[in-house]
């Protein structure tokens, strides 16, 4: 009846959960949210073709999915004009971030990110015994120069950059990233999390270059494609680096229905364009609602808008709590000075109407 021995690392880790889900909040509240605007899902949903394909796939779910995800990888490779050997599929970008930490982080290795950037990445770095080096945002953007400096100074194994940025919505166009890549020290892997790139100005996206083994691009079907529940993300990179994932990934970890849905979603670029247009309109509407309450919406290239509440973190937290109490599921950045903001995901008119009604009341209650 003795306890098993945990590793020293696991013993040292906090029982930290990066994001409490809206379902847990609903259970605690005892009632559902009326507007689900906190997880940057796409309420507009996936392509009807993807829904149809997933419905049709249900019956065949007695079969494991192809562990090589051949059809999906081939389609993604064609879409990006690269080879199938440049693509690896994971259980969302989250799953791939965990794997990339395992590939390159030794205990105590430095890993550079921005202070207030994606908590799930930090969670994986901690789980891989990496040492996080956090660089301050500058003007609500990831500070590429300071990040490169930190990567050099700390001899970092990974530099994490999210573009468009979550939680701020800001965006660096290709030229800025080219300069960043040009000045990266040898031996650092730039992990470019582009979960939100489908809603960014496409002409300004950094082109994919699979000849550079120092850069991995992370994409997902969870955001603009509207398939968060499918858990299908992918990384694009140099073939020799992509091949390394085979040594450690859960080869049978990808679910069949999600894989089939993602393929159908990718093949319906017309629907994606319409969803992106709806997201753009929703961004504008969120901005109007914020301005209507005297708050400042930040420019966003993502499927959410981050709103500056104009005071400190405690105030923004009270505004957020007021929204939650009024049945609006939303989130906010956790680190100062970003935490003066709340973050509202794009939604349909009816979702944003709930938000529009709740915001002034939440602001008034926040004092």
Shortest distance (Å) from residue 17 CB to a copy of itself: 6
The size of the chain, in residues, is 367
Contact assessment for residue 147 and residue 161, using Cβ atoms and an 8 Å cutoff: yes
The Cα 210–Cα 276 span in angstroms is 26
DSSP annotation of 127 reads H
Shortest distance (Å) from residue 5 CB to a copy of itself: 5
Shortest distance (Å) from residue 158 CB to a copy of itself: 8
**Closest CB to a copy of itself among 124 and 326?**
124
Is it true that the peptide bond before 32 is cis, omega within 30 degrees of 0? no
> Number of C-alpha atoms within 13 angstroms, CB side, residue 153?
10
**Closest CB to a copy of itself among 4 and 367?**
4
Shortest distance (Å) from residue 312 CB to a copy of itself: 29
341: enclosing H helix or E strand: strand 341-345
**Closest CB to a copy of itself among 243 and 311?**
243
**Closest CB to a copy of itself among 66 and 321?**
66
**Closest CB to a copy of itself among 94 and 165?**
94
Residues 6 or more apart whose CB falls under 8 angstroms from that of 325 comprise 362
The Cα 263–Cα 5 span in angstroms is 43
Beta pairing partners, 305: 344
Other C-beta atoms lying within 10 Å of the C-beta of residue 339: 20
Torsion over CA: 176, 200, 112, 335 (sign): positive
**Closest CB to a copy of itself among 261 and 333?**
261
Shortest distance (Å) from residue 187 CB to a copy of itself: 5
Contact assessment for residue 182 and residue 190, using Cβ atoms and an 8 Å cutoff: no
93: enclosing H helix or E strand: helix 92-104
Residues 6 or more apart whose CB falls under 8 angstroms from that of 291 comprise 297
Torsion of CA 315, 318, 324, 326, to 10 degrees: -100
Shortest distance (Å) from residue 200 CB to a copy of itself: 20
- Distance of alpha carbon 222 from the chain centroid: 8
The Cα 358–Cα 295 span in angstroms is 14
Shortest distance (Å) from residue 232 CB to a copy of itself: 8
Shortest distance (Å) from residue 295 CB to a copy of itself: 27
Shortest distance (Å) from residue 163 CB to a copy of itself: 19
DSSP annotation of 276 reads H
Torsion of CA 35, 301, 307, 358, to 10 degrees: -20
């Amino acid at each position: 009846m003795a306890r098993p021995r945990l590793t020293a690392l696991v013993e040292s880790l906090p029982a930290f959960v990066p994001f409490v889900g809206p379902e847990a909040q609903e259970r605690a509240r005892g009632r559902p949210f009326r507007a689900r605007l906190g997880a940057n899902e796409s309420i507009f949903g996936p392509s009807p073709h993807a829904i149809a394909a997933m419905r049709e796939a249900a019956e065949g779910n007695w079969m494991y999915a192809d562990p090589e995800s051949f059809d999906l990888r081939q389609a993604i490779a064609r879409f990006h004009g690269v080879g199938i050997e440049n693509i690896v599929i994971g259980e969302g970008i989250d799953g791939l971030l965990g794997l990339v930490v395992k590939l390159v982080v030794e205990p105590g290795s430095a890993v550079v990110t921005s202070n207030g950037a994606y908590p799930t990445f930090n969670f994986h770095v901690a789980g891989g015994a990496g040492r996080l080096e956090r660089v301050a945002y500058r003007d609500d953007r990831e500070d590429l120069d300071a990040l490169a400096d930190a990567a050099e100074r700390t001899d970092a194994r990974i530099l994490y950059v999210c573009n468009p940025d979550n939680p701020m919505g800001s965006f660096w166009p290709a030229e800025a990233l080219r300069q960043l890549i040009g000045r990266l020290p040898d031996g650092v892997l730039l992990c470019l999390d582009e979960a939100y790139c489908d809603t960014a100005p496409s002409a300004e996206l950094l082109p994919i270059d699979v000849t550079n083994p120092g850069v991995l691009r992370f994409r997902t079907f969870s955001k603009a494609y509207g398939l968060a529940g499918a858990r299908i993300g992918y990384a694009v990179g140099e073939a020799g680096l992509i091949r390394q994932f085979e040594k450690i990934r859960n080869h049978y970890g990808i679910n069949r229905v999600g894989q089939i849905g993602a393929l159908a979603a990718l093949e319906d670029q017309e629907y994606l364009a319409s969803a992106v247009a709806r997201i753009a309109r929703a961004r504008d509407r969120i901005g109007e609602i914020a301005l209507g309450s005297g708050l400042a919406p930040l420019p966003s290239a993502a499927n959410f808008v981050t709103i500056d509440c104009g005071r400190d973190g405690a105030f923004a937290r009270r505004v957020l709590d007021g929204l939650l109490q009024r049945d609006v599921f939303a989130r906010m950045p956790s680190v100062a000075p970003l935490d003066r903001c709340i973050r509202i995901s794009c939604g349909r008119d009816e979702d944003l109407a709930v938000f529009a009604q709740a915001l002034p009341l939440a602001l008034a209650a926040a004092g």
